[in-house]
Amino acid sequence: MIAVVGLNYKTAPIDVLEKLSAGCGREGNFPAGLKAIPGVHEILHLSTCNRVELVASADDDSRPVDMLKSVLARNGALTDHEASCLYAYRDEDAIRHLFRVASSLDSLVMGEAQILGQVKDAYRRALAENAIGIVLNRLMHRAFRTAKRVRTETGIAANPVSVSFAAVEMAKKIFGSLAGKKILIIGAGEMAELTCMHLIGNGAEEITVANRSAAQAEMLAEKYHGIAVGLGALDEALCDADIVISSTGSMSYVVTQDMVRSCLRKRKNRLLFLVDIAMPRDIDPAVDSLENVYLYNIDHLQDIVDENMKNRRRESLKAEQIVHEEVAQYFNWLKELEAVPTIVSLRTKAEGIVRMEIEKESGWMEGLENADREKVEALVNGIVNKILHAPVTVMKEESAEFQSQDIVAAARQLFRLDD
């Protein structure tokens, strides 16, 4: 059985997620120690800001799953009410859940790229701890393959769904390329940092960070190989910039119409693109009335984000079909795997019967030439292989559609493999 046990942002509030994440993180041998749980064969621990999950290969009954839920609740010091947030998926549902997680279909922001890297990190940790074997190894590689197909065969990640990313995408549409453009970031908080990250990722090279706190501006500028200035130098920085993105916590306008009008004369009316992603707004809306100035605020960008989220949801239908295909293929392999020990036992028994019968007839066979003896043995083995072909094929193929335990049990009884 494949099982996924855990909780995520859909089933638990953030404080419960934090408790469980911290509790599991304190365990030095977690999750390798979970293999000691009766019935658990392989285990993987995935922990992100939005989920804490265990992926396991286990015996096909409820006890391993119940034990894993108990371990999570104990490690996170969860109350009974908090523990009720834990979920458990089995077999196809578990496989589908994991593939959807890796493909970012279960993410808070559908299509985000970080989750696949986090899943791969969890896989590498489990490998290093010798916590997984053939079943989860193949499962994880199938999850990576599914995520890759979703990325390449759908447009689920093609459109920006964060305001900072939308601002950068809009700048790209206007200028074509950010290479060689001088960019001014006003503010040095989280939104400003996200904006810098997206800018660098899209080819920006010259970034200036202006902030009331010079120390914060210097920290952010240094991280992204830019330069820092105080707000006292904002007029000069505006005159030099092609693109301005502002995200401060100011309660009044940081960029006024007079400041921009003055800059335009010095810039000889060179195009100026401004994006205000602050709330309340940093840039006076009257700036938009100036010639060769383009001003966008968070409302404009939110329209882009909302439309792009609709596009992602449409693309998610294609992604779900890919997940469905990949789940079916892995589950079929898993069912075939369950029949392997019985197939091996059947062939071993048949080969033993052949050897025994040939030994019983060794008296008359000794008079045969070696070539004739080999022909007789090949004939017998050929007949046995043809007889075994049908039951072996049935166990491998039909087990994917029916309960493989029933097919295997019938084969073991018919051929008396347990005698």
- What pLDDT score was predicted for residue 380? 83
Mean pLDDT of 161-167: 81
Mean pLDDT of 224-243: 93
Window from 98-112, 126-140, 184-198, 361-375 with minimum mean pLDDT: 361-375
- What pLDDT score was predicted for residue 166? 83
- What pLDDT score was predicted for residue 405? 61
- What pLDDT score was predicted for residue 215? 92
- Of the pLDDT bands very low, low, confident and very high (cuts 50, 70, 90), residue 340 is low
Say yes or no to pLDDT of 404 above 90. Answer: no
- What pLDDT score was predicted for residue 18? 85
Candidate list 24, 49, 196, 263, residue with the active-site label? 49
Of 342, 350, 349, the C-alpha closest to 380 is 350
Contacts of 88 (CB under 8 A, 6+ apart): 3, 4, 5, 65, 68, 69
* CA distance linking residue 106 with residue 9, whole number of Å: 10
- Of the pLDDT bands very low, low, confident and very high (cuts 50, 70, 90), residue 70 is very high
3-state secondary structure of 48: strand
Active site residue 239: no
Domains along the chain with CATH numbers: 2-153 (3.30.460.30), 163-305 (3.40.50.720), 331-414 (no CATH)
Say yes or no to pLDDT of 182 above 60. Answer: yes
3-state secondary structure of 88: strand
Mean pLDDT of 373-400: 77
Cβ density class 222-232: b for 16+ within 10 Å, e for less: eebebebbebe
The chain-wide mean pLDDT, for the chain, equals 87
pLDDT, tens only, 12-67 = 988 898 889 888 875 555 666 788 889 999 999 999 878 999 999 998 888 999 99
pTM, entire model: 0.65
* CA distance linking residue 323 with residue 317, whole number of Å: 10
Say yes or no to pLDDT of 229 above 90. Answer: yes
Mean pLDDT of 241-246: 94
- Of the pLDDT bands very low, low, confident and very high (cuts 50, 70, 90), residue 71 is very high
Lookup: tokens for 291: 């010639």
Q: State the angle between helix axes of 298-360 and 370-397 in degrees (0 to 180), rounded to the nearest 10.
A: 140
- What pLDDT score was predicted for residue 399? 57
* CA distance linking residue 332 with residue 401, whole number of Å: 8
- What pLDDT score was predicted for residue 338? 67
Say yes or no to pLDDT of 199 above 60. Answer: yes
Mean pLDDT of 118-122: 94
Mean pLDDT of 193-212: 91
**292 close to 270: Cβ distance less than 8 angstroms:** yes
Contacts of 84 (CB under 8 A, 6+ apart): none
Window from 211-225, 293-307, 346-360 with minimum mean pLDDT: 346-360
**7 close to 52: Cβ distance less than 8 angstroms:** yes
Residue of 207 and 191 predicted with greater confidence: 207
- What pLDDT score was predicted for residue 400? 53
Of 41, 39, 50, 44, the C-alpha closest to 5 is 44
pLDDT > 70: what percent of the chain?
A: 94
**Residue in the block written with tokens 């279960």:** 106
